A and B are shown apart, each in its own frame.
Chain A
Amino acid sequence: ETGVTQTPRHLVMGMTNKKSLKCEQHLGHNAMYWYKQSAKKPLELMFVYNFKEQTENNSVPSRFSPECPNSSHLFLHLHTLQPEDSALYLCASSQARDSSTDTQYFGPGTRLTVL
């Protein structure tokens, strides 16, 4: 496992539930990311935070709400999700954005199922 942890690892929720995904990195990085991975599709970048500031929102529906209280923690709040939101949600961190040497380190992901 890398220095990026995610909880929970598995989550099943109904369409009316509210839940949150948590990501924590222990690498001293300044940038954090949320990705969605669906079957047979490329990873989709959802949000980017750089020094706690959101720098990218990749046209993500408002039922997904990110929160970055500090450089080590990232949350994804979920509300009124749809079955097509079922996927593996991956968190990643890197030293900084826009660097030619920037390597991303990924967490193990949260497998989300929306019933």
Chain B
Amino acid sequence: KQEVTQIPAALSVPEGENLVLNCSFTDSAIYNLQWFRQDPGKGLTSLLLIQSSQREQTSGRLNASLDKSSGRSTLYIAASQPGDSATYLCAVSGNQFYFGTGTSLTVIP
């Protein structure tokens, strides 16, 4: 069974800092990998989707990379802002969708 792990579980950084969130998965047979954002008590919002044949995707200050062979993905957030504070989840799509437990990010003004 696919297992998705996210490290760290929680992260607190000062505003303006660049940061990296990590995601690892055990089975490389995936269709794609997605990064989501979840605000407290809310649903998930898709940030980036990387297809299995791709290496990275960028959207604004966000950049996600995928290394299928090693089972790893990173989400890079540049120049962090207080509005980036949320829980970030990664999910891999194989025969079904598997989610990590998320990284709770706090950006301190």
Contact surface of A with B, Cβ cutoff 8 Å: 2, 4, 6, 33, 40-43, 45, 48, 56, 58, 88, 90, 92, 98-109, 111
Contact A58 B98 (CB under 8 A): no
Q: Count A-B pairs with CB separation below 8 Å.
A: 59
Cα A89 to Cα B75 with chains together (Å)? 26
Contact A42 B4 (CB under 8 A): yes
Q: Which residues of B contact A105 (CB under 8 A)?
A: 46
Looking at the assembled complex, report how far the CB atom of A58 sits from the nearest CB atom of chain B, in whole angstroms.
7
Q: Which residues of A contact B42 (CB under 8 A)?
A: 108-109
Contact B51 A101 (CB under 8 A): yes
B5 to chain A: closest residue by CB:
A42
Which of A90, A100, A105, A108: most chain B Cβ within 10 A? A100
Contact A41 B101 (CB under 8 A): yes
Q: Which residues of A contact B91 (CB under 8 A)?
A: 43, 104
A43 to chain B: closest residue by CB:
B99
Contact surface of B with A, Cβ cutoff 8 Å: 4, 31-32, 34, 36, 41-46, 49, 51-53, 89, 91, 93, 96-101
Contact B101 A40 (CB under 8 A): yes
Would you mind naming 10 contact pairs between A and B with Cβ atoms under 8 Å apart?
A33-B97, A41-B101, A42-B101, A48-B96, A56-B96, A88-B41, A92-B44, A103-B49, A106-B36, A111-B41
Cα A41 to Cα B101 with chains together (Å)? 6
Report if A98-B31 is in contact (Cβ < 8 Å); known contacts: A42-B99, A42-B100, A108-B43: yes
Contact A106 B96 (CB under 8 A): no
Looking at the assembled complex, report how far the CB atom of B55 sits from the nearest CB atom of chain A, in whole angstroms.
14
Contact A90 B31 (CB under 8 A): no
Report if A106-B31 is in contact (Cβ < 8 Å); known contacts: A40-B101, A101-B49: no
